[in-house]
């Protein structure tokens, strides 16, 4: 119906690009028509696999990091008092009221929300520590209240609802719910009842490392979904750039906020095992999903004069067989 409204027939479409849903693939297989999974969907699946959110290989370290960052963020989305403290901390260090930031929710735009959440938390790190603990070190002087054991008929749902009313990932998604601790702290009239949600030094560091590794995939995803259409040729070039970044021996790690942001180059071998697993699996998935040179991609590359497809070019170093195949396919379609 949509095609008929736009006066388009299937013969006008060279290669339909859809998401990777099984019913789409099966439909085109039955019709004996070619299709290709669109670049952004393939890239999303690659990153999700790297984060341990797809496939059989999990990454519990990164899953825990994402859950901790999300729970820390919900402290402000679900509490007026803490959100005001976050704003006051920013004002105190000289941020204009019109420039105040708030935390971001990790599930805002699929996996891209993970990057945006980690980035925003890094920019607000000093303010979050003050808002949740009252001190810049992030280690509260108050002692958490003692948690009384609950009986089987008490669920603590009211405490969860009061704190996590922003509709984020429920505490049940983590290893343990902190509803009992929150309720105990509030009953003790503590000034900072959510102090235990403030990340520790190791988690802040891991968050910066993961943000740095997610920058290039995120920018690649944004470029693929830009206002101007990205063809198979540019999609392949973007995927190659992302793959090179994830397999490089050196990694640029970002730290600081917008005032004192800095980048430090470290060797990839020095990264934690969870981050190295993410880089390895994501690179493998990108190579499998986006760097397979089929006939359509070869023709698109051959027809783009702005892309260096020579044997000495960056795209085809050591890929003489792919070059010969590209020339053969180009002659066939020429």
| pTM of structure | 0.80
Q: 3-class SS at 177?
A: coil
Higher pLDDT, 287 or 296: 287
Query: In the predicted model, is pLDDT for residue 138 greater than 70?
Result: yes
Please report, for the chain, the start and end positions of each structural domain, with discontinuous segments joined by +: 2-37, 60-201, 210-333
How does strand 262-267 pair with strand 250-255?
Answer: antiparallel
- State the pLDDT at residue 53: 83
pLDDT digits (tens, 9 = 90+) for 67-111: 999 999 999 987 899 999 999 999 999 999 999 999 998 765 567
pLDDT digits (tens, 9 = 90+) for 239-291: 999 999 999 999 999 999 988 999 999 999 999 999 999 999 999 999 999 98
User: 144: alpha, beta or left, given left = phi > 0 and alpha = psi -120 to 50?
Assistant: beta
Query: In the predicted model, is pLDDT for residue 47 greater than 70?
Result: yes
Q: Which of 164, 177, 186 is nearest to 76 (CA)?
A: 164
Q: 3-class SS at 33?
A: coil
Q: With DSSP H G I counted as helix, E B as strand and the rest as coil, what are the percentages for the chain, rounded to 5?
A: 55, 5, 40
Query: In the predicted model, is pLDDT for residue 167 greater than 60?
Result: no
Give yes or no for a contact between 136 and 30, defined as CB atoms under 8 angstroms apart: no
Q: 3-class secondary structure for 93-109? A: CCCCHHHCCCCCCCCCC
Q: Give the least confident one: 50-59, 60-69, 324-333.
A: 324-333
pLDDT > 70 in the chain, percent: 79
pLDDT digits (tens, 9 = 90+) for 184-223: 888 889 999 999 999 999 999 999 999 999 999 999 999 9
User: For residue 251, what are the β-bridge partners?
Assistant: 266
Question: How does 191-212 read in b/e, with b if 16+ C-beta sit within 10 Å?
Answer: ebbbbbbbbeeebbebbbbbbb
CA separation, residue 220 to residues 229, 240, 242 (Å): 14, 10, 7
Give yes or no for a contact between 150 and 180, defined as CB atoms under 8 angstroms apart: yes
């Amino acid at each position: 119906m949509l095609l008929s409204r736009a006066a388009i027939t299937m013969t006008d479409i060279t290669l339909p690009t859809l998401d990777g849903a099984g019913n789409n693939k099966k439909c085109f297989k039955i019709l004996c028509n070619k299709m290709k999974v669109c670049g952004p969907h393939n890239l999303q699946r690659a990153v999700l696999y790297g984060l341990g959110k797809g496939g059989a290989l999990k990454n519990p370290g990164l899953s825990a990091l994402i859950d901790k960052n999300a729970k820390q963020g919900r402290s402000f989305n679900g509490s007026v008092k803490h959100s005001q403290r976050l704003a006051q901390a920013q004002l105190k260090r000289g941020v204009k009221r019109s420039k105040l930031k708030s935390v971001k929710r990790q599930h805002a735009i699929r996996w891209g929300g993970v990057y945006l959440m980690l980035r925003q938390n890094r920019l607000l790190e000093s303010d979050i520590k003050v808002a949740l603990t009252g001190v810049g070190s992030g280690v509260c002087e108050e002692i958490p209240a003692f948690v009384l054991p609950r009986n089987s008929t008490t669920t603590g749902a009211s405490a969860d609802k009061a704190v996590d009313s922003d509709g984020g990932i429920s505490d049940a998604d983590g290893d343990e719910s902190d509803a009992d601790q929150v309720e105990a702290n509030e009953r003790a009239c503590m000034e900072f009842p959510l102090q235990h949600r403030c990340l520790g030094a190791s988690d802040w560091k891991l968050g910066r490392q993961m943000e740095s590794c997610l920058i290039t995939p995120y920018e690649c995803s944004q470029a693929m979904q830009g206002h101007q259409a990205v063809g198979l040729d540019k999609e392949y070039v973007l995927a190659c750039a992302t793959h090179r970044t994830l397999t490089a021996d050196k990694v640029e790690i970002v730290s600081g906020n917008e005032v004192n942001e800095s980048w430090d180059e470290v060797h990839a071998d020095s990264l934690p095992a969870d981050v190295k697993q993410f880089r390895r699996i994501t690179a493998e998935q990108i190579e499998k999903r986006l760097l397979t040179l089929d006939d359509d991609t070869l023709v698109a590359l051959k027809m783009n004069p702005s892309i260096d497809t020579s044997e000495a070019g960056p795209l085809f170093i050591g890929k003489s067989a792919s070059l010969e195949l590209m020339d053969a396919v180009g002659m066939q379609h020429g």
